[in-house]
Amino acid sequence: NGPFYLNDTLVFKYAPPNETTFPHSVYLLPDFWSFQNCDLKRARKIGEVTSGGGQGFEFVLKRWQPYYFACGEHKGIHCKDGLMKFAIWPLIRWYN
């Protein structure tokens, strides 16, 4: 849930694969077009299928830019189904 701010830390948690669960991973896609089309060719894998277990793994929103995330397993089928993809543009926190 948002809103998200610059320098916030996202925590990705998902079950590691086993006999009854489908494997998941996390890719950072380079642009909106890749996100819309679930095109993983230029995406960077930031979470392996085992990375989401336990406490999960962290990703810090270090830049004021859009971030596009998607599950990339099995050629991005969960992304293509619209189930496991999301976009964030972090807000800037203005302090007085």
pLDDT at 17: 79
Residue with tokens 């962290």: 58
CA angle 35, 63, 69 (to 5 degrees): 25
pLDDT at residue 43, as a whole number: 96
User: d(Cα 67, Cα 90) in Å, to the nearest integer?
Assistant: 8
What domains, with CATH codes, occur in the chain? Answer: 8-88 (2.60.40.420)
Q: Name the one residue in this structure whose structure tokens are 């489908």.
A: 22
- Write the CB contacts of 43 (distance below 8 Å, at least 6 apart in sequence): 27, 28, 29, 30, 34, 70, 72
What pTM did the predictor assign? 0.87
Task: Identify the pLDDT of residue 75.
Answer: 78
* Bridge partners, residue 68, by sequence: 29, 87
pLDDT-based confidence at residue 53 (cuts at 50, 70, 90): confident
